[in-house]
């Protein structure tokens, strides 16, 4: 079922090593890119096909400047099943897109690409055509992530963003690569659901300067092999995303 609303553990891993970034995929300002944000929920029976679609696209394009983020919204939680990955912050982000994008509603599964185009998240041809068009459209911001490190409680990263405007912010997401859930209640009761690119932490950084350091909280169940970081620059006036980058983790013994 498609639910619409309108605007009116794993145990915490003790980290005793320094975790640093070793691989970064970014979109230079003169190249195209696609940031795909999927709003989904384990309580929604229409969402598994969209989850499967982004998993397929992610597998096919892991070496390209295509950045996938799955936000599990919380407004389905009251309807029989609480999604362990859900957050009210992600529901609020979806509401913000409804304010930015003219005519947009709030529903699941909803896909938004580069902050400006929205459609049903399970529509494969629309998603692929949108990605193709955006990869051919040069970005405006060159974003670089470096010095990604973690302690037991925090993950820190340095950033440099060139070509930003006065109303730009840096959105930084800590993303869990894969997870599996057995749903016991709600529309998907009895199903085992697979997820990819789950946003576990999301931080907004004001770009008062083009360079700086951001810090995120280490989520429960964090492992360096199971997570990556995705960041993108977004215009707060209209939601348009102007540049993006991602980096993953490796472990260096301290």
Least confident among 23-37, 120-134, 238-252: 23-37
Tell which wins on pLDDT, 253 or 193. 193
Is 68 domain-assigned? yes
Residue listed under structure tokens 């599964």: 109
pLDDT at 12 over 60: no
Q: Give the residue from 204, 4, 190 showing the smallest Cα distance to 91.
A: 4
Q: What is the mean pLDDT of the chain?
A: 89
Closest alpha carbon to 246 in 18, 36, 100: 36
pLDDT attached to residue 164: 87
CA 77 centroid distance within chain: 20
Query: Could you give the CA distance from residue 104 to residue 226 in angstroms, rounded to a whole number?
Result: 33
Strands of the 110-113 sheet, one edge to the other: 18-26, 241-252, 227-235, 168-182, 192-206, 66-72, 34-40, 110-113, 117-120
Predicted confidence (pLDDT) per residue in 146-195, tens digit:
988 888 899 999 999 998 888 999 999 999 999 999 999 999 999 999 99
Residue 67 pLDDT grade (very low, low, confident, very high; cuts 50, 70, 90): very high
Q: Is 101 among the domain residues?
A: yes
195 forms bridges with which residues in the sheet? 179
Helix (H, G, I), strand (E, B) or coil at 92: helix
- Is residue 2 one of the residues assigned to a domain? no
pLDDT, position 15: 39
Quote the domain boundaries for residue 184.
16-252
Residue 77 has pLDDT above 60, yes or no: yes
Confidence of residue 14 (pLDDT cuts 50, 70, 90): very low
Q: Is 80 helix (H, G, I), strand (E, B) or coil?
A: coil
* Spatial distance between the Cα atoms of 75 and 47, rounded to a whole number of angstroms: 14
Q: With respect to residue 110, please indicate whether it lies within any of the assigned structural domains.
A: yes
pLDDT band at 121, cuts 50/70/90? very high
Quick check: is 5 in a domain? Answer: no
Output the pLDDT for position 25.
56
pLDDT value at residue 151: 84
Please give the average per-residue pLDDT across 192-214, as a whole number: 95
- 208-244 as b/e: b if 16+ CB within 10 A: eebeeebebebbeebebebbbbbbbbbbeeebbbbbb
Q: How many helices (H) and strands (E) does the chain have?
A: 3, 14
> Does residue 52 lie in a domain region?
yes
Of 96, 113, 121, 104, nearest to 39 (Cα)? 121
Number of domains in the chain: 1
Cα–Cα distances in Å, from 200 out to 175, 213, 222?
6, 19, 10
Model pTM score? 0.89
Asked if 172 and 67 count as a contact pair (C-beta separation under 8 A), the reply is no
- Asked if the model's pLDDT at residue 16 lies above 70, the reply is no
* Domain assignment present for 6: no
What pLDDT is attached to residue 212? 95
| Residues 123-158 pLDDT 10s | 999 999 999 999 999 889 999 999 888 888 999 999
Residue 26 confidence class, pLDDT cut points 50, 70, 90? low
Q: What CATH number has the domain bearing residue 246?
A: 2.60.40.10
Helix (H, G, I), strand (E, B) or coil at 116: coil
Q: What is the pLDDT of residue 248?
A: 85
Any domain includes 160: yes
């Amino acid at each position: 079922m498609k639910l619409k609303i309108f605007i009116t553990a794993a145990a915490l891993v003790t980290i005793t090593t320094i975790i640093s970034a070793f691989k970064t995929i970014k979109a230079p300002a003169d190249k195209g890119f696609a940031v795909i944000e999927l709003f989904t929920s384990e309580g929604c029976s229409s969402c598994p096909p969209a989850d499967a679609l982004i998993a397929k696209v992610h597998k096919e394009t892991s070496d390209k400047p295509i950045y996938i983020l799955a936000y599990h919204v919380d407004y389905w939680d009251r309807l029989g099943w609480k999604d362990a990955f859900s957050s009210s912050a992600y529901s609020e982000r979806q509401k913000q897109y409804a304010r930015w994008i003219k005519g947009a509603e709030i529903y699941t599964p909803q896909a938004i690409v580069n902050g400006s185009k929205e459609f049903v998240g399970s529509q494969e041809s629309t998603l692929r055509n949108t990605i193709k068009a955006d990869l051919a459209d040069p970005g405006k911001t060159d974003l670089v992530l470096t010095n990604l490190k973690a302690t037991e409680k925090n993950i820190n990263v340095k950033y440099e963003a060139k070509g930003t405007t006065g109303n730009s912010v840096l959105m930084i997401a800590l993303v869990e690569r894969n997870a599996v859930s057995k749903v016991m209640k709600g529309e998907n009761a009895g199903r085992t659901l697979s997820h990819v690119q789950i946003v576990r932490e999301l931080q907004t950084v004001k770009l008062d300067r083009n360079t700086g350091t951001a810090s995120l909280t280490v989520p429960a169940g964090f492992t360096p092999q199971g997570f990556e970081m995705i960041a993108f620059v977004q215009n707060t006036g209209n939601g348009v995303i102007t540049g993006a980058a991602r980096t993953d983790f490796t472990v260096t013994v301290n």
